Amino acid sequence: MSELQLIDDLVKLARSYKDPKTLLGPGDDAAVIDLSFGPECITTDQYVENQHFRHRWIRPSDLAARCLSATVSDLAAMGATPRWLTLAITLTSDQDRDWLMNFGQRLGQILALWNIDLIGGDLTRGERCSICMTMGGTAQKGRLLLRRGAQPDDGIWVSGNLGGSAAAVEYLERGGKNQNLVVDFFSAKHRVLLGLALNRSGVASSCCDISDGLLTDLTSLLHEDCPGALLDLKRLPVSPIATRVSQELACSTRPWVLNGGEDFELLFTVPPRREEAMGDLSEALAIPLTRIGTMAETPGIINVEGRALSPAGWDPFRDS
């Protein structure tokens, strides 16, 4: 049983009423509701103790940054401007007021920086800590970056670099104590400006964020008219964290780069005639953009040597 299958089944059962004002329901990075001055994109994400993080290796302030990066990433992938947040927290008795205040302080700093308004929330107690964020953002009328839209021969692009989060988590899970090695993992970042630029310019034919791992998320861009992708593994931009951790642990970066979740970079496709715009875009935003492959008519994801690549990214329900 996979998460996607569970979600599909649940949505089939639970989404029995469809509002004509909902322009896009479940299935993309965020839902869209029709509002007269521009669609409002809304997304929900949760972060659960011992599933997404452990208290022994993440401070509350860093957890706040991490949760925000995860949530805002969904709106970036839609080409929307984040505007509001609701926050539900379950605290355990081990956590004290200081923990919550440290969480809140960092949250407030980042929200102010990003112009996001915390408009509501819920706080309760339980046996495990969890954070649930719902975020809304405004898109330009008639313009959204959707997952479906790529055509064969479109280039496959990623922003930034990959594998850093998975490497940091593995390092911390194994008891690594050198925070400097993985400090980037704890920083707050987003690709909202890139999403807006891709959306406004119309240069991308499809887009999603990398939260479940490159291969898993790339699969979500495939569709019946464009069911395949060819990846050039040598071109994959490897995170400096992944490189540092792989040296420390004496292992390969590849699994982290291909299947590591929570990179929160954008993965998007660009038609060949629009590719020349990419250099200027990268320079204007000071964000590395790398062409890592090509969409194809042949089903499945393969590397340039013709070997099939199987997604093994984040899926909490995989083992059941």
Q: Which of residues 301-320 bind a second copy (CB under 8 A)?
A: 316-317, 320
- Rounded Cα distance, 149 and 221, in Å: 8
| Contact residue for a second copy among 127, 142, 273, 307 (CB under 8 A) | 127
Using rule CB under 8 A, residue 249 touches a second copy: no
CB 12, min distance to a second copy, A: 8
Name which position in 14, 250, 286, 308 contacts a second copy (CB under 8 A): 14
d(CA 238, CA 47): 25
- Taking the complex as a whole, the smallest distance from the CB of residue 219 to a second copy amounts, in Å, to 18
Q: Determine, following the binding rule CB under 8 A, whether residue 93 of this chain makes contact with a second copy.
A: yes
Which C-beta is closer to a second copy: that of 57 or that of 157? 57
- The CB-of-19 to a second copy minimum distance in angstroms stands at 4
**Among residues 117 and 280, whose Cβ is nearest to a second copy?**
117
Which residue's CB is nearer to a second copy, number 87 or number 166? 87
Q: Using CB under 8 A, which of 81, 130, 220, 259 touches a second copy? A: 130
Q: How far is CA 265 from CA 157, 248, 278, 319, in A?
A: 10, 24, 16, 26
Within positions 23 to 82, which residues make up the interface with a second copy, using CB under 8 A? Answer: 25-26, 30-33, 35-37, 40, 42-46, 48-52
Instruction: Using the minimum distance from each CB to a second copy, give the nearer residue, 32 or 301.
Output: 32
Least separation in angstroms between residue 250's CB and a second copy is 31
CA-to-CA distance for 196 and 182, rounded, in angstroms? 29
* Integer Cα distance of 54 and 140 in angstroms: 38
Of 54, 94, 115, 240, the one binding a second copy by CB under 8 A: 115
* Footprint of a second copy on 260-279 (CB under 8 A): none
Distances from the Cα of 204 to the Cα of 216, 242, 266, 273, angstroms: 19, 28, 11, 11
Residue 120, interface with a second copy (CB under 8 A)? yes
Among 56, 124, 180, 305, binds a second copy (CB under 8 A): 124
Rounded CA separation 38/316 (Å): 35
- Contact status: 134 vs a second copy (CB under 8 A): yes
Q: Is the CB of 44 or the CB of 140 nearer to a second copy? A: 44
User: Residue 58: left (phi > 0), alpha (psi -120 to 50), or beta?
Assistant: beta
**252: its two tokens:** 């390969």
Q: Which of 109, 140, 179, 282 binds a second copy (CB under 8 A)?
A: 109
Contact 163, 243 (CB under 8 A): no
Choose which of 54, 94, 122, 272 interacts with a second copy (CB under 8 A).
122
